[in-house]
């Protein structure tokens, strides 16, 4: 495990615990929401609004982290917010309160993400960014295997008793918060003059950022605009005839593939190029969505989720590594936070749009639309040069 420092291990364990808590609930979330009266459209809007909240706060708190020269407090507070949101989902059942609880969870993610990713970037060199971000994603996603597995075992003995899972998920959430106190601040020099940080001040970074950043992020955002929540993949599997247990099993399988591939894919990306691996990932995504649009064979869903896991391993950490390699180190949290802010606005639109297309024209139209746009995004990224070395 050369190049994997103690700090990277601690952050990876925190993410593992948090994802265990979050992903214990994720595969049953659409089923639970439907059971308390949410429609497919409302589920799409809920996921979109929650992600938009996370994204806008990522930009703001990323900018604050860079401006203050501090990272750890943002990480600690962010994970604490996500932990306390879990039991709230079970306590409150009215739509407005569900929106509030889900938003608090995503707000916590917004507080911590820019600072956490900046720490990871600082622990790597331009030649090891893929490895470091890949390792973190692998550990993070391992939690997405453990969480649904625990949910599967619980639901085997207590079918359809969803509420108790939200309280059980609070335990690994607390473990994550406790682990953050093992982090030690490596304080960066603060700016000579500290201008007030308004909520949307991070938006100015778009104009000040390197041209390469705007080109890469522009392509990423176009893709995100049509890449809706994974909830819709689970709903499609459910609609095809899979029962609740099998849907969770498929989701566990997807995350296991993701966890197993994220680290080695990151290592390979450092050698062959971040852009090359990212484009391969997008190609797999397009294949999955074309497949989801036409597949009627229950067994083929496993093959599609296998490819989907490899896609995630080849894009999630790689995109952040790519961004951190084309921006200044002092602006890392702002650069990733700004991207995340725009990304989550696009995710809100994508989830809402997919829900509406599904409702009006059916699942096939929704998946074909996403797959077609992804092909266009691939062509765009093929026209870009390989990422240059990191800006000092």
pLDDT average, residue stretch 193-205: 63
In this prediction the pTM is 0.79
Q: What is the tens place of the pLDDT at every residue in 231-255?
A: 788 778 777 777 777 777 787 888 8
Which of 288-304 are b and which e, b meaning 16 or more Cβ less than 10 Å from the residue's Cβ?
bbbbbbebeeeeebbeb
Per-residue model confidence (pLDDT) at position 250:
82
Checking if the pLDDT of 284 tops 80, the result is: yes
Apex CA 234: angle with CA 231 and CA 239, to 5°? 125
Q: Which residues, 6+ apart, have CB-to-CB distance to 260 below 8 Å? A: 138, 313
Please say whether the beta carbons of 151 and 24 come within 8 A. Answer: yes
Looking at every residue in the chain, the average pLDDT score rounds to 83
Structural domain includes residue 287:
yes
Checking if the pLDDT of 287 tops 90, the result is: yes
Which carries the bigger pLDDT value, residue 15 or residue 243?
15
Structural domain includes residue 314:
yes
Structural domain includes residue 205:
no
How many C-alpha atoms does 268 have within 13 Å on its Cβ side? 14
Element (H, E) at 83: helix 72-91
Structural domain includes residue 152:
yes
Q: Is 340 helix (H, G, I), strand (E, B) or coil?
A: helix
Structural domain includes residue 202:
no
Angle of helix 244-272 versus helix 129-157 axis, rounded to 10: 170
Q: Of 322, 386, 349, which Cα lies nearest the Cα of 49?
A: 349
Residue with tokens 């473990």: 175
CA distance 81 to 21: 13
The CATH number assigned to the domain holding 337 equals 1.20.1250.20
Eight-state DSSP code of residue 126: T
Structural domain includes residue 43:
yes
Please say whether the beta carbons of 228 and 353 come within 8 A. Answer: yes
Per-residue model confidence (pLDDT) at position 205:
81
Checking if the pLDDT of 199 tops 80, the result is: no
Structural domain includes residue 1:
no
Highest-scoring range by mean pLDDT, 22-26, 59-63, 230-234, 307-311: 307-311
Report the domain count for the chain: 1
Which carries the bigger pLDDT value, residue 2 or residue 306?
306
Structural domain includes residue 270:
yes
Q: What is the tens place of the pLDDT at every residue in 35-88?
A: 777 776 777 677 667 766 666 788 788 888 888 888 899 999 999 998 988 888
Of the pLDDT bands very low, low, confident and very high (cuts 50, 70, 90), residue 31 is confident
Percentage of the chain beyond pLDDT 70 is: 90
Domain that holds residue 258: 6-182+210-382
């Amino acid at each position: 495990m050369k190049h994997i420092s103690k700090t990277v291990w601690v952050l990876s364990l925190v993410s593992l615990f948090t994802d265990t808590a979050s992903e214990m609930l994720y595969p049953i979330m659409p089923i639970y929401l439907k059971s308390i009266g949410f429609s497919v459209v409302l589920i799409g809007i809920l996921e979109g609004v929650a992600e938009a909240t996370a994204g806008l706060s990522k930009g703001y708190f990323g900018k604050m982290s860079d401006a203050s020269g501090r990272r750890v407090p943002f990480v600690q507070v962010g994970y604490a917010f996500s932990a306390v949101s879990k039991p709230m989902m079970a306590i409150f059942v009215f739509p407005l309160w569900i929106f509030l609880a889900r938003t608090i969870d995503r707000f916590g993610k917004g507080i911590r993400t820019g600072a956490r990713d900046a720490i990871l970037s600082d622990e790597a060199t331009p030649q090891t960014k893929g490895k470091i971000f890949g390792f973190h994603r692998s550990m993070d996603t391992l939690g997405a295997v453990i969480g649904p597995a625990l949910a599967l075992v619980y639901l085997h003995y207590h079918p359809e008793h969803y509420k108790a899972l939200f309280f059980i998920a609070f335990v690994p959430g607390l473990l994550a918060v406790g682990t953050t106190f093992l982090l030690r601040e490596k304080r960066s020099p603060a700016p000579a003059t500290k201008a007030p940080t308004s909520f949307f001040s991070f938006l100015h970074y778009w104009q000040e950022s390197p041209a390469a950043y705007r080109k890469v992020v522009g392509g990423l955002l176009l893709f995100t605009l049509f890449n809706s929540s994974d909830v819709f993949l689970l709903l499609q599997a459910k609609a095809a005839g899979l029962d609740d247990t099998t849907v969770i099993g498929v989701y566990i399988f997807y995350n296991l593939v993701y966890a197993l591939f994220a680290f080695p894919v990151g290592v390979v990306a450092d050698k062959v190029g971040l852009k090359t691996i990212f484009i391969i990932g997008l190609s797999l995504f397009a294949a999955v969505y074309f497949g989801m649009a036409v597949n009627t064979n229950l067994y083929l869903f496993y093959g599609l989720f296998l490819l989907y896991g490899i896609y995630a391993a080849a894009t999630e950490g790689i995109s952040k590594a790519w961004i951190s390699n084309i921006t200044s180190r002092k602006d890392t949290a702002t650069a990733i936070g700004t991207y995340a802010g725009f990304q989550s606005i696009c995710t809100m639109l994508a989830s809402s749009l997919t829900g509406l297309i599904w409702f009006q024209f059916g699942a096939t139209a929704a998946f074909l639309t996403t797959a077609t746009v992804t092909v266009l995004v691939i062509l765009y990224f093929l026209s870009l040069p390989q990422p240059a070395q990191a800006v000092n």
